[in-house]
């Protein structure tokens, strides 16, 4: 009688569990005790993918190409003797399809600011696998801890405009688990909002009063001239 099979171990020997489109991966399935020959079957969500028989205690190697989103997901393997109807199942391995991120967009509710004002900056990549990590920069200097977003929502930082040096060029950088795919946003600049002095406000007010007087005088002229004209007749 053949020796009882142990539950096989499913191991990733080539590639990563976070996979990109058209990536090749190799899985190894082996029951460490048993009497060959042993039949190994690879399943994805209970659907058979491939089957191999081994006449010795060497692992069955399954090569896969992740060519679409449907190829990602949970895989298991089964070890069984050809003469038996039973079998032992392995642990599962779960492949996650990773998509590259799109260029993030850096924005703010206002582009005009003045000294002493609080402002916000938002950074968002609309495409790409989650989670996405964001970093904010002023020039080449990092100005915030990295923010990792688990949902499709913008990372936001709050700034205090304290001096003219804060009116510089800001950018953000986004990356996810897709390899070598960090992307920088557009540049964003705050412009200094003009602050009117008291003298400027006084001049504007006097100008408006003078304009109203001129308009009022112009409207009153007909009422002054017509009575004089009738009185002279």
Dump pLDDT digits (tens) for 222-233. Answer: 766 666 556 566
Q: Which pLDDT score is estimated for 141?
A: 94
pLDDT at 62 over 70: yes
Q: How far is residue 156's CA from residue 18's CA, in Å, rounded to a whole number?
A: 27
pLDDT tens, residue by residue, 16-34: 998 988 999 999 999 998 8
Nearest CA to 16 out of 81, 98, 126 is that of: 98
CA dihedral 106, 112, 115, 116 (to 10 degrees): -70
* Assigned CATH for 105-192: 2.60.40.10
Residue, of 85 and 5, whose pLDDT is higher: 5
Which of 2-11, 44-53, 61-70, 218-227 is predicted least confidently?
218-227
Q: What's the pLDDT at 197?
A: 45
State the pLDDT confidence band at 1, using cuts at 50, 70 and 90.
Answer: low
Average pLDDT score, the chain: 89
Domain pair 9-97 / 105-192, same fold: yes
Percent of the chain with pLDDT over 90: 61
Question: Model confidence over 82-141: pLDDT tens digits?
Answer: 765 678 999 999 999 999 999 999 999 999 998 889 999 999 999 999 999 999 999 999
Q: Where are the domains of the chain?
A: 9-97, 105-192
Higher-scoring residue by pLDDT: 167, 12: 12
Instruction: Spell out the CATH class of 9-97.
Output: mainly beta
Q: How many other β-carbons are positioned within 10 Å of the β-carbon of residue 73?
A: 14
Q: CB-based contacts of 74: which residues, under 8 Å, 6+ apart? A: 44, 45, 92, 93, 94
Q: What is the pLDDT of residue 40?
A: 96
| Residue 195 clears pLDDT 60, i.e. is over it | no
The answer on pLDDT for 12 being more than 80 is: yes
**Where do we find the tokens 């002279």?**
232
Which has more pLDDT, 228 or 4?
Answer: 4
Instruction: Give the sign of the dihedral formed by CA 32, CA 33, CA 38, CA 40.
Output: negative
A 10 A CB-CB count for 228 gives 8
> What pLDDT, on the 0 to 100 scale, is given for residue 144?
92
pLDDT of residue 103: 97
**What is the pLDDT averaged over residues 190-207?**
69
Alpha-carbon distances, residue 194 vs 17, 158, 208 (angstroms): 55, 22, 20
Q: 7: buried, middle or exposed (CB in 10 Å: 19+, 13-18, 0-12)?
A: middle
Q: Are 167 and 210 in contact (CB under 8 A)?
A: no
- pLDDT of the residue at 230: 60
CB-based contact 85:78 (threshold 8 Å): no
């Amino acid at each position: 009688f053949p020796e009882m099979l142990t539950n096989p171990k499913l191991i990733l020997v080539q590639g990563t569990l976070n996979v990109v489109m058209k990536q090749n991966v190799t899985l190894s399935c082996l029951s460490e005790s048993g009497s060959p020959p042993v039949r190994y079957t690879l399943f994805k969500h209970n659907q058979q993918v491939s089957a191999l028989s081994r006449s010795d205690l060497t692992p069955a190697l399954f090569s896969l190409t992740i060519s679409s989103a449907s190829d990602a997901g949970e895989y298991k393997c089964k070890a069984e003797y050809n003469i038996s109807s039973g079998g032992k199942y392995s642990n599962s391995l779960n492949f996650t399809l990773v998509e590259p991120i799109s260029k993030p967009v850096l924005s703010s509710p206002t582009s005009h600011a003045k000294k002493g004002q609080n402002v916000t900056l938002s950074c968002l990549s609309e495409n790409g696998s989650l989670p996405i990590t964001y970093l904010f920069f002023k020039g080449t200097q990092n100005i915030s801890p990295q923010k990792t977003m688990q949902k499709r929502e913008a990372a936001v930082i709050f700034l205090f405009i304290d001096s003219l040096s804060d009116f510089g060029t800001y950018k953000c950088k986004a990356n996810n688990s897709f390899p070598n795919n960090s992307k920088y946003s557009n540049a964003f600049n705050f412009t200094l909002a003009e602050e009117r002095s008291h003298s400027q406000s006084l001049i504007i007010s006097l100008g408006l009063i003078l304009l109203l007087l001129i308009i009022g005088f112009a409207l009153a002229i007909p009422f002054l001239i017509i009575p004089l004209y009738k009185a002279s007749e």
